[in-house]
């Protein structure tokens, strides 16, 4: 994983429920999701797999991209994920 300051990411559950988020520390944030330390949607729907992410140097660009992805229809989000991760592999598995 390249080091940049900001990340937009998509977490998925085993049933492929999607969550889109933004962070300045990808490893910390993904770990929090996996351990259910984040109250709310990801904990309720067990979104524990990192299936997609993008890196940004500019915080405003990252926030704008997060908002853009959240507005997309589900099928467009699925196509984006599958364009780089066709098997929906947990991309954070390689970090261990």
- The domain segmentation of the chain, as residue ranges, is 6-95
Does 96 score more than 70 pLDDT? no
How far apart CA 6 and CA 26 sit, in angstroms, is 8
CATH number assigned to the domain with residue range 6-95, chosen from the 4 options 2.30.110.10, 1.25.10.10, 3.40.1440.10, 3.90.550.10: 3.40.1440.10
Joined tokens for residue 16: 């492929």
Beta carbons within 10 angstroms of residue 32's beta carbon: 15
> Which tokens sit at 39?
């109250």
Q: Report pLDDT digits (tens) over 2-58.
A: 556 899 999 999 999 999 999 999 999 999 999 999 889 999 999 999 999 999 999
Contacts of 92 (CB under 8 A, 6+ apart): 27, 30, 34, 49, 50
* pLDDT, tens only, 64-77: 999 999 999 999 99
Beta bridge partners of 19: 11
């Amino acid at each position: 994983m390249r080091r940049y300051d900001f990340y937009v990411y998509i977490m998925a559950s085993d049933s492929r429920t999607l969550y889109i988020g933004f962070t300045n520390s990808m490893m910390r944030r993904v770990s929090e999701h996996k351990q259910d330390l984040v109250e709310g949607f990801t904990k309720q729907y067990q979104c524990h797999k990192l299936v997609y992410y993008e890196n940004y140097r500019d915080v405003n660009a990252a926030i704008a991209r997060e908002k853009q992805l959240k507005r997309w229809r589900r099928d467009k989000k699925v196509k984006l994920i599958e364009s780089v991760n066709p098997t929906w592999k947990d991309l954070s598995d390689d970090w261990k």
